[in-house]
Amino acid sequence: MQDLTGKVAFITGGANGIGFGMARAFLAEGMKVVIADRNEDYLAKARAALLGNNAVHFVRADVADRANLKAAADEALAAFGKIHVLCNNAGINGGGTADDPRFEAFDRVMSVNFGGVLNGTKLIVPIIKAQGEGGHVVCTSSMAGVVPLPGLAAYSASKYAVRGYAESLRMQLAPHGIGVSCLCPGATRTGMLHPPEDEPEKDFHEAEASEFQQALWQAAREGIDPLETGRMVADAIKANRFWAFTNREFLDEVIRLNREMEAAFPDQLPPPGRLKFETMRAEVSRDLLMAGNRRKTDQGGEDSMLEFGDTGAVGEK
Ligand code: NAI
């Protein structure tokens, strides 16, 4: 989608932080924006900040509640007639460590961070497909979905899940002219990551905090402005770029991780059947991502390009 003017975006978690940054960046591109959020206070603040702007519509929606999200999508259509860009952005922190025996917090994080992406996609992508005008889906993962973070197992697992889902979605939607981007922010100054002075009512003593905590606060102070993140997302949509990385400081770690993976592969060469299959599979994936593969879809029917059955066979149905 090279020109966003007049297009409609539906942003979950759009009333604060990165979602609100996207909303403002998209409005500056001449888009219409539906801000869907669970938090009434954030919605009220966002409404006040954009007072008088007719290109924005606000709706209360919990991404973990499918009926609720479906009603919000219907309301968006009633307001603007179409949806072209879906931003699955709502997310929460926490959820516990890998060896925490409790389930509840883990389930909650998965249901919002990953479940919200799943629900948004399953409910809204069919609308975008049916319009036949192309579109774009942005899934907000995190650098926590690319590099491991100590102590944040639930959050990390949810964000790796978002990333994996987005990578597959990208291949399924390319033949429909619908792009997918995976947004992986690092420190961004939002409701989720903020220095203590953003909460003046709380009594804090920075000098008594651990060095790690102090460093985290400083990173929050130097976090990316969410509006800047929103602009990067708009650029990724226009360029149809999958990866949307915002924080340069992770690059060396990503390189190191990839090298560690490369070094862990066995030397033994694969037998020809396995090699043939994996070469075919990689080619099918590449084809799906290339412009011009719409022709094959037209011949084979919807979603016929890549189906792995129980037999592991690849091909058109
Ligand atoms: P934020 O807390 O400022 O904004 C999150 C928004 O999502 C809020 O408006 C909140 O009300 C909404 N929300 C939460 N649960 C919801 C639900 N169940 N249904 C609908 N809306 C819901 O936080 P931020 O930072 O803007 O988070 C946005 C996304 O960015 C999240 O997915 C987060 O995991 C991700 N992220 C943020 C980073 C940061 O440094 N702030 C870093 C990496 C990823």
- What are the angstrom distances between the C-alpha of 202 and each of 195, 206, 207, 288? 11, 12, 15, 51
Question: Do 176 and 252 share a domain, yes or no?
Answer: yes
pLDDT tens digit sequence for 102-148: 999 999 999 999 999 999 999 999 999 999 999 999 999 999 999 98
**Residue 12: pLDDT over 90:** yes
Residue 217 located in a structural domain: no
Residue 110: CB within 6 Å of ligand 1?
no
Question: Do 183 and 283 share a domain, yes or no?
Answer: no
Residue 188: CB within 6 Å of ligand 1?
yes
Cα–Cα distance between 71 and 64 in angstroms, integer?
13
62, two tokens: 């919990």
Q: How much is the average pLDDT of 40-56? A: 98
> Which residue's CA is the nearest one to ligand 1's atom 7?
13
Q: How far is the CA of 17 from the centre of ligand 1 (A)?
A: 7
Residues 6+ apart with CB under 8 A from 173: 125, 137, 179, 180
Q: How much is the average pLDDT of 196-211? A: 82
Positions marked catalytic: 155
In degrees to the nearest 10, what's the CA dihedral of 307, 309, 313, 314?
Answer: 0
Q: How many CB atoms lie within 10 A of CB 15?
A: 28
Q: How far is the CA of 291 from the centre of ligand 1 (A)?
A: 33
pTM, full prediction: 0.92
Number of domains making up the chain: 2
Atom of ligand 1 nearest to the CA of 159: 34
Q: How much is the average pLDDT of 182-192? A: 95
Question: Do 146 and 230 share a domain, yes or no?
Answer: yes
pLDDT tens digit sequence for 70-114: 999 999 999 999 999 999 999 999 998 999 999 999 999 999 999
Residue 37: CB within 6 Å of ligand 1?
yes
Residues 6+ apart with CB under 8 A from 60: 36, 37, 38, 40, 43, 72
Q: How many CB atoms lie within 10 A of CB 251?
A: 10
Residue 142: CB within 6 Å of ligand 1?
yes
Residue from 189, 190, 246 to probe ligand 1 pocket by mutation (most atoms less than 8 Å from CB): 190
Q: How far is the CA of 174 from the centre of ligand 1 (A)?
A: 27
- What are the angstrom distances between the C-alpha of 295 and each of 65, 128, 279, 305, 314? 37, 20, 22, 11, 18
- The CATH number linked to 125 is 3.40.50.720
Question: Do 242 and 175 share a domain, yes or no?
Answer: yes
Question: Do 228 and 307 share a domain, yes or no?
Answer: no
> Which residue's CA is the nearest one to ligand 1's atom 34?
91
Q: How far is the CA of 43 from the centre of ligand 1 (A)?
A: 13
**Burial class, 292, CB count within 10 angstroms (exposed 0-12 / middle 13-18 / buried 19+):** exposed
Residue 22: CB within 6 Å of ligand 1?
no
Atom of ligand 1 nearest to the CA of 111: 18
Domain that holds residue 298: 270-317
Residue 201 located in a structural domain: no
Give the pLDDT of residue 80: 98
- What are the angstrom distances between the C-alpha of 67 and each of 62, 73, 123, 124? 9, 10, 10, 12
Asked whether 5 and 29 are in contact (CB, 8 A), the reply is: yes
Question: Do 24 and 69 share a domain, yes or no?
Answer: yes
Question: Do 234 and 305 share a domain, yes or no?
Answer: no
Question: Do 152 and 282 share a domain, yes or no?
Answer: no
**Residue 297: pLDDT over 50:** no
Question: Do 230 and 313 share a domain, yes or no?
Answer: no
Q: How far is the CA of 317 from the centre of ligand 1 (A)?
A: 40
Residue 156 located in a structural domain: yes
Q: How far is the CA of 90 from the centre of ligand 1 (A)?
A: 5
Question: Do 182 and 288 share a domain, yes or no?
Answer: no
Residue 17: CB within 6 Å of ligand 1?
yes
Residue from 16, 59, 192 to probe ligand 1 pocket by mutation (most atoms less than 8 Å from CB): 192
Give the pLDDT of residue 291: 53
* 13: phi then psi, degrees, rounded to nearest 5: 60, 35
**Residue 54: pLDDT over 90:** yes
Residues 6+ apart with CB under 8 A from 78: none
Residue 89: CB within 6 Å of ligand 1?
yes
- Percent of the chain residues topping a pLDDT of 70: 91
Question: Do 168 and 282 share a domain, yes or no?
Answer: no
Atom of ligand 1 nearest to the CA of 18: 26
With bands split at pLDDT 50, 70 and 90, how would you rate the model's confidence at 156? very high
Give the pLDDT of residue 209: 86
Question: Do 38 and 75 share a domain, yes or no?
Answer: yes
Which of 21-30, 134-143, 184-193, 304-313 has the least mean pLDDT?
304-313
